[in-house]
Amino acid sequence: MRGLVAIPDKPHSTAVAEVPDPRPAEGEILLRTLEVGVCGTDREISEGVFGVAPPGRDALVLGHEFLGVVERDGPGFSRGDLVTATVRRSCGRCDACAGGSPDACHTGDYSERGITRLDGFASELAVESAEHLVAVPPSLGRLGVLAEPGSVCARAIRHACAVGERQPWRAERALVVGAGAIGMLSTYFLRLDGFEVWTAGRSPRTTAKAQLAEACGATYISTADVPLDALVDDVGGFDVVIEAAGDAQVMLDTLALLRRNGVACLLGVDGHTRKVSLDGRVLGVDTILQNRALLGSVNAHARDWEAAVEALDRARERWGDALEAFVGLRVALDCFDEAFEFQGVKATLQFGEA
Ligand code: BGC
């Protein structure tokens, strides 16, 4: 069968190749791939700066944003069911993983499908254990391909709220920095949770991303027009800030964007070596005297996947046309480079019809 493979550590090695047909082991389910989303992590693997091939091999099958259909009945699933699959697998030797929380793995020796030591789903067929599959309701359909980035946002919001709720707080105003898939999904999920949301991006206010953010009732801010510190002066600070732009300076700056008891959660990764800086009083005075918190979040627990699928379906009911427009480019596997270069919210690789 055909799949999209890359040699981690080797820049520009990504190619369509013949890969062995998967053979389901006991308890595993054979899946037919419908669609696989492409994200910044896939681009980093493709650029040779991230990812690890499975043991004894050079090449890794990419793809961790999976939507597929069950090809043969298996435990808890029937042929024809729409499914997605979680990404991270246990390190096999820590309490967090043993307890079903590889998203909080203590050792860091976890594996991730399509990223670290395990092949991904960007191939015509795939296999997965039933325990790692998540049902996608037929009403959500092809939008189920957004479940993986959605799960990352669901975890971040759950954690930010858990930190906020450690003390009396006002879960009213949220700022999302970044208008890619993670920023946009965070915007929609926060709106579903009843937050008043501002979404800040580099694109001008006239672009499709601005319109998508505003379609769910958020206010889009172009940082070229309104610097974030000016926004804070205007709005009065935020209870939740989600950083999804992947800029370490902006991540540090989020501490200054919070109001009393506010929580900032960092999702975008920035691996550049550099110093970032902050007015010492923001850290040394405001963060302490105003009980502010800053945390990072990665990956997702199974409960976040369930929450994401449920939230996506609710978002579809309220803002269906806009959610459909999140996937701005669908291309055949051979045109994968177009998906990697796409500048809109989400591009996907198409493998087949349901
Ligand atoms: C994925 C996560 C993964 C992280 C680090 C992200 O792109 O969405 O599931 O944990 O990369 O590998």
Per residue in 174-225, pLDDT (tens digit) is 999 999 999 999 999 999 999 999 999 999 999 999 999 999 999 999 999 9
Using CA atoms, how far apart are residues 155 and 299, in angstroms rounded to an integer? 8
In contact, 68 and 31? CB cutoff 8 Å = yes
In this prediction, residue 353 carries a pLDDT of: 84
Per residue in 13-59, pLDDT (tens digit) is 999 999 999 999 988 999 999 999 999 999 999 999 999 999 999 99
In contact, 170 and 140? CB cutoff 8 Å = no
Find the 157 Cα to ligand 1 centroid distance in Å: 16
User: Is residue 304 within 6 Å of ligand 1 at its C-beta?
Assistant: no
Give the mean pLDDT of 140-145: 98
pTM above 0.85, yes or no: yes
Residue 290 predicted with pLDDT over 90 = yes
Residue 159 predicted with pLDDT over 90 = yes
Domains of the chain, earliest start first: 2-135 (3.90.180.10), 151-296 (3.40.50.720)
Find the 66 Cα to ligand 1 centroid distance in Å: 13
In contact, 50 and 41? CB cutoff 8 Å = yes
Residue 260: alpha-carbon gap to chain centroid: 28
In this prediction, residue 354 carries a pLDDT of: 80
Residue 346 predicted with pLDDT over 90 = yes
Query: Which residues, in sequence order, are bridge partners of residue 296?
Result: 266
CA-closest residue to ligand 1 atom 10: 299
Give the mean pLDDT of 97-104: 98
In this prediction, residue 306 carries a pLDDT of: 98
User: Is residue 39 within 6 Å of ligand 1 at its C-beta?
Assistant: yes
User: Is residue 103 within 6 Å of ligand 1 at its C-beta?
Assistant: no
Per residue in 177-186, pLDDT (tens digit) is 999 999 999 9
